[in-house]
Amino acid sequence: MKRLIFATGNVNKMLEIKEILGELPVEILSMKEAGIEADIEENGSTFEENALIKAKEICKLAGEMVLADDSGLEIDYLNGEPGIYSARYMGEDTSYSIKNKNLMDRLAGVPDEQRTARFVCAIAAAFPDGRSFVVRGTIEGMIGYEERGKNGFGYDPIFYLPEKGVSTAELSSEEKNSISHRGNALRKMRELLEHEELL
């Protein structure tokens, strides 16, 4: 079976990725499982650039097909913050309960219609022959007034889906994957790879 290395150090992302790409006829490995250790500087200015940087650098080290995810939360009232800095917002080691509370504090008094936000996910693929591809998936929602739910990770407890009346941390992993930014981007990437006969 072909191998596919996913260039992420985020275990929660990796769980979602394995669930979504699970039925593909490839063996999906995390960097750790592939025995690759690297700390890549994400110095691009868009999600797409950062995903491509991660995929290409790990592809050079691995010598085989690599996929990478760069994702984050864009809050319209905060001009798109934390955006590509979502993991680094308030420091990588700061807990998400503190980050989530801080974002809700910055939106104190802001009415529902101005609390719009989206999760964005760029997925890049890089091949040893130099070819690369990148796709984007999004999910629209709003920032809530309290943390709700224990599933998911990161900013999920404050990201609400108004039409469902729940946060993405209240969804099961199947429900989240079927509508999420990462699910949407991974399904696009899967179609692209199948169409290009790269799997």
Query: If DSSP states are collapsed to H, E and C, what string results for 88-115?
Result: CCCCCCCCHHHHHHHHHHHCCCCCHHHC
Q: Interface residues for ligand ITT in 114-173 (CB under 6 A)?
A: 119, 152-156
Our CB check for ligand ITT shows the closer of 71 and 184 to be 71
Q: Is-catalytic flag, 70?
A: yes
Q: How far is the CB of 22 from ligand ITT (least distance, A)?
A: 17
Give min distance, CB of 10 to ligand ITT, in A.
4
Looking at beta carbons only, is 145 or 196 nearer to ligand ITT?
Answer: 145
Q: Residue 122 and residue 120: Cα distance in Å, rounded?
A: 7
Cα gap 18→121, rounded to integer Å: 16
Instruction: Note whether 5 and 32 are within 8 A (CB).
Output: no
The token duo for 153 is: 């990770």
Other CB atoms within a 10 A radius of the CB of residue 127 amount to: 16
Binding mask 29-68 for ligand ITT (x = CB under 6 A): -------------x--------------------------
Token pair for residue 107? 């939106």
- Of the residues 69, 70, 112, 129, which is catalytic? 70
Under the rule (CB under 6 A), what is the footprint of ligand ITT? 8-10, 13, 42, 69-73, 86-87, 119, 152-156, 180, 182
